[in-house]
């Protein structure tokens, strides 16, 4: 099922790959290049963090065109009773 949050994650990963030639290992990426490495490592992490900060400021502008809202979204609040 489609999730706007997952779409934003993919969008952010796309810009990280494009700018840093590495990917966030916590997010599925759609690039199967053998040269592509995880953003772990000092130089790659610094680059990925800068991209993250830039996207955080303008994320809605960059990713909203690619990531429309879900048609229907249901959220539940977790509670327990003893």
pLDDT tens digits, one per residue of 12-55: 888 888 898 888 877 766 666 667 788 887 778 888 888 888 87
**Radius of gyration from C-alpha coordinates of the chain:** 16
Predicted pLDDT at 34: 62
Residue 60, number of CB atoms within 10 A of its CB:
11
pLDDT tens digits, one per residue of 46-82: 888 888 888 776 655 677 778 888 887 677 788 888 7
Can you state the angle between helices 4-20 and 42-63, rounded to 10 degrees? 130
Q: pTM for the whole thing? A: 0.68
């Amino acid at each position: 099922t489609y999730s706007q949050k997952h779409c934003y994650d993919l969008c952010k990963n796309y810009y990280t790959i494009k700018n840093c030639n590495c990917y966030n290992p916590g997010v599925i990426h759609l690039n199967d290049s053998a040269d592509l490495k995880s953003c772990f490592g000092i130089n790659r992490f610094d680059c990925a963090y800068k991209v993250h900060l830039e996207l955080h400021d303008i994320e809605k502008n960059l990713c909203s065109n690619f990531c429309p809202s879900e048609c229907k979204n249901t959220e539940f609040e977790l509670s327990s009773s003893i």
